Amino acid sequence: MGTIDGVNGVGIDQLEIDRLEQALARRPRLAERLFTAGERAYAAERARPGQHLAARFCAKEAVAKALGLTAWDFRDVEVVRGSDGPPRVVLHGPVAAHADALGVAAVHVSLTHTRRDASAIAILA
């Protein structure tokens, strides 16, 4: 993977929030497979948890695309609140090792959502 002005990779993802909410309603344990306990707790504190989980799902997918991953554990990409509020990504396990092998020093992420859609972009530095 080449670099452009210090960028080692970029990924983006978008999802209709209703799709994730319906999947979670049909398969309640799916949330445990996709999200860490911290991510689930954060979303549970919000008026519409599915909206926040969908944005985190998009962030995980965007990070995976930026890293060129094809098979990975969703919980190895964790979206946490930064000390100043904005979200940040913490990589775990094999995903962290893969990022280290690629020389990735930081993963920057931006999340957004409307009533209908959630999106995220990830930039590797």
Residues 31-66 have pLDDT tens digits of 999 999 999 999 999 999 999 999 999 999 999 999
Q: What does the pLDDT read at residue 2?
A: 52
Residue 42, SS3 per DSSP: helix
pLDDT of 1 strictly over 70: no
Residue whose structure tokens are 């690629």: 102
pTM for this entry? 0.93
Residue whose structure tokens are 């965007």: 62
Q: What does the pLDDT read at residue 4?
A: 62
pLDDT of 76 strictly over 80: yes
Q: How large a percentage of the chain has pLDDT more than 70?
A: 94
Q: How confident is the model at residue 82 (pLDDT cuts 50, 70, 90)?
A: low
Which domains, from first to last, does the chain contain?
9-124 (3.90.470.20)
State the DSSP code for 78: E
Q: What angle do CA 115, 121, 125 make, to 5 degrees?
A: 160
C-alpha distances in angstroms, 72 versus 33, 45, 78, 83, 101? 11, 27, 13, 27, 16
Backbone φ, ψ for residue 46 (5° rounding): -100, 160
